[in-house]
Amino acid sequence: MSGPLRKLKSVTVLALDDAGAEDAFLADAQRYRRELLAHCYRMTGSLHDAEDLVQETYLRAWKSYKGFEGKSSVRTWLYRIATNTCLTALDGRKRRPLPTGLGAPAGDPTADIAEHHEIPWLEPLPDSPREDPSDPSVIAESRESVRLAFVAALQHLSPRQRAVLILREVLQWKAAEVGAAIGVSTAAVNSLLQRARAQLDEVQPSREDQLVPPDSPEASDLLAKFISAFETYDMDKLAELFTADAVWEMPPFDGWYQGPHNIITLSRTHCPAEKAGDMRFRAITANGQPAAALYLLNPGTGTHEAFQLHVLDVRHGGIAHVVAFKEDGLFEKFGLPATL
């Protein structure tokens, strides 16, 4: 074989080897997609934004693959890219609240209600069907870090405080690792974390007020009774399921309502359903919590159509909080049919 041909063959083989290594690297990176989605969701409070940011993370990883020197794990490297991708995307954006986070007092359930689509509301997160049941500690940790109360509390922090708190306390990174990831000193990381913790203490529920796991008998029983009470339009039974200080809110409406009596009055006053059979539900989970997809009867077609997705806080005393999400395309994101 002549010199030029030998050289051409060696370059071709090297290129194939590089391509094979890159494909293997990116294939390995794909197994972190779900946890990166949860990470971007915690940062942004939006499932839609999180999906786009994960795509951007993998695009950046693919473009910079040759600069990856193996000084950290692939997982750590991807989290660094994802975190900085989120920080760039969040620059100048408004936080995503729930109605309770707007600062207004509890509303009058008999007053008029209005939708506010101009507000970038917090969105729910579908649970992964691929959680490994052999490791309950991993499941519990992942559930707690995407629960609505925690993600809503994160929205009160600046994006950089959010990143530091998540990397330090959810992912358990060292301060020096966090500083290297977001380009600040270790002292700055510690300062950001201290301020983030102080702000969270003001808005986050206490650790003693833990939610009941969605797969526990108590949570399953309360969710079944919640669904049954609505489907049979038994408002008295529904009232019995709530704790005395239970909260109901339903973005894109900006009001929130407290106490069983006010919640039932709200349902009677503003819910389009009027009798047994008008509502049907499908039990699901979202944000590591019990949830139910509500389908409302369309009298014109005789079919039950996607209406709201209810995410429940179930505590030992009953149902303490319900967020009833209503937005176009939400059921599709959860893999739910448009009609029943």
Q: What is the pLDDT of residues 176-218, one digit of tens each?
A: 999 999 999 999 999 999 999 999 988 875 554 578 889 899 9
Average pLDDT over residues 77-99: 96
Q: Are residue 28 and residue 173 in the same domain, yes or no?
A: yes
Domain-embedded: residue 14: yes
Q: Are residue 75 and residue 185 in the same domain, yes or no?
A: yes
Q: Are residue 285 and residue 224 in the same domain, yes or no?
A: yes
**Which region among 79-83, 139-143, 158-162, 323-327 has the lowest average model confidence (pLDDT)?**
139-143
Q: Are residue 18 and residue 154 in the same domain, yes or no?
A: yes
Res. 147: pLDDT tops 50: yes
Q: Which of 173, 203, 233 is the last residue of a domain?
A: 203
Q: Are residue 223 and residue 248 in the same domain, yes or no?
A: yes
Q: Are residue 260 and residue 230 in the same domain, yes or no?
A: yes
Q: Are residue 299 and residue 172 in the same domain, yes or no?
A: no
CATH number, domain with residue 145 = 1.20.140.160
Q: How far is CA 57 from CA 30, 62, 83, 177, in A?
A: 11, 9, 9, 19
Domain-embedded: residue 251: yes
Q: Are residue 192 and residue 226 in the same domain, yes or no?
A: no
What is the number of domains present in the chain? 2
Q: How far is CA 69 from CA 59, 73, 151, 329, in A?
A: 18, 10, 33, 41
Provide the residue range defining the domain that includes 243. 217-333
Angle among Cα 278, 284, 288 to the nearest 5 degrees reads 135
Rounded Cα distance between 116 and 128, Å, is 30
Q: Are residue 41 and residue 95 in the same domain, yes or no?
A: yes
Q: What is the pLDDT of residue 140?
A: 46
Q: What is the pLDDT of residue 172?
A: 94
Q: Are residue 7 and residue 85 in the same domain, yes or no?
A: yes
Mean pLDDT rounded to a whole number for the chain: 88
Domain-embedded: residue 287: yes
Q: Are residue 189 and residue 86 in the same domain, yes or no?
A: yes
Angle among Cα 274, 277, 278 to the nearest 5 degrees reads 45
Instruction: Tell me which residue of 224, 229, 258, 226 sits closest to 243, measured CA to CA.
Output: 258
Q: Which amino acid is at 176?
A: A
Q: Are residue 18 and residue 88 in the same domain, yes or no?
A: yes
Average pLDDT over residues 71-86: 91
Average pLDDT over residues 246-260: 97
Rounded Cα distance between 184 and 160, Å, is 10
